[in-house]
Structure 1
Amino acid sequence: MAVEVEVANELLRLRARMPQLTGALAAGADGLVLAQDMPDVQPEGLAALTAAALGVGRRMVDLAARGDFRELLVRGADGYLATYAAGPTAVLTLLADDRVDVGRLHLEGRRCGARIAELVAARSADERPLGTGSGRFPPPQVRGPIKGTLPVRIPPQSRRRP
């Protein structure tokens, strides 16, 4: 099963456990949507803003020497927006109405973020790039530098044997 489907199922289970949630979004740290369940919000725009907030949050905790970024909570007049780190490459954003139990929101958001981090990490382990022991192709050899030239990549089939 694709990781996006598994993440979407995790978001649906979270929304079933917490009826006060009005939306859930999992995105990469680059701002691309992994999965979403947000009927009233444009997910691509929120994913991009979440990535920006994640960057600012990481810089803030780094500058203040508070360790790794964990979460960010924003309260508006009509409810909450909570963002949770989901490993080093993903983020979970939840929208909740103003009647939500914030403690439970944090508990469920942290658990779901940890589960998404596991799913994304499992996918990353399965999708190694070429030349890293995947067994498909050896890494390309680079010759050079020769004065005044750039290094040249030699395809595996044209290499000469010594």
Structure 2
Amino acid sequence: MRTDAELRGELLAELGRLRQAVPEITGCLVASTDGLLIADDAQALVVEGVAALAAACLGVSQRIADSAGHDEFREVLIRSSGGYVAMYMAGHGAVLVLLAAADANVGLLHHEARRATAVLSRVVADAVLSFSQGLPEPARW
């Protein structure tokens, strides 16, 4: 079983790899679908607020997908005058949030992010398993 520090190190390494692969990324983070920050590689950004808003956006996006008769929600891209915010499901309990400059290559951003979600999904699943194995047995009456 890997330690929390090792798991967090894997998440940060993948976020760093993403930033190298797509230089226009200005910040990235992994959050729980409940809006709690798990890991980040973002400077000058209120990451806790972004994590919470990402969870809200995912909830609305999933409801839209459901209403349209589509299966599981996977990703959303927001384009603004200042750049992009892209969110990708990373397993069942986490989301990858990427912030990118307005001149970002969106195709490359999607390609690298989709590859990264496979890695992040595995690490988050390992962390959940590690956490659940460390819980005490429930009292039996």
Q: TM-score, normalised by structure 2?
A: 0.89
Query: What is aligned with 1:97?
Result: 101
Query: What is aligned with 2:23?
Result: 19
- Superposed CA deviations along residues 46-99 of structure 1, whole A, max 9, x for unmatched, are 000001001111111111111101000000002111000001100000011111
CA distance in 2, matches of 1:125, 1:40: 32
Task: Give yes or no for the alignment of 1:35 onto 2:34.
Answer: no
> In the TM superposition, what are the counterparts of 1:1-162 in structure 2 within 5 Å?
1-2=3-4, 3-128=7-132, 137=137, 139-142=138-141
CA distance in 2, matches of 1:9, 1:57: 28
CA distance in 1, matches of 2:73, 2:41: 24
Q: Tell me which of the two structures has the higher relative contact order, counting C-alpha pairs closer than 8 angstroms and 6 or more residues apart.
A: 2
User: Which consecutive segments of 4 or more residues in structure 1 shift more than 6 A?
Assistant: none
Q: TM-score, normalised by structure 1?
A: 0.78
Q: Secondary structure at the match of 2:97?
A: strand
Where do 5+ consecutive residues of structure 1 fail to align?
143-162
Q: Secondary structure at the match of 1:10?
A: helix
Amino acid at match of 2:103: R
Where do 5+ consecutive residues of structure 2 fail to align?
none
Aligned residues: CA RMSD:
1.7
Contact 1:5 1:35 in 2 (8 A): no
CA distance in 2, matches of 1:125, 1:113: 18
- Superposed CA deviations along residues 109-162 of structure 1, whole A, max 9, x for unmatched, are 1111221111011122223267xxx8x64x4234xxxxxxxxxxxxxxxxxxxx
Amino acid at match of 1:126: S
Q: Per-residue deviation at 1:45? A: 0.5
Task: Pick the structure with greater CA Rg.
Answer: 1
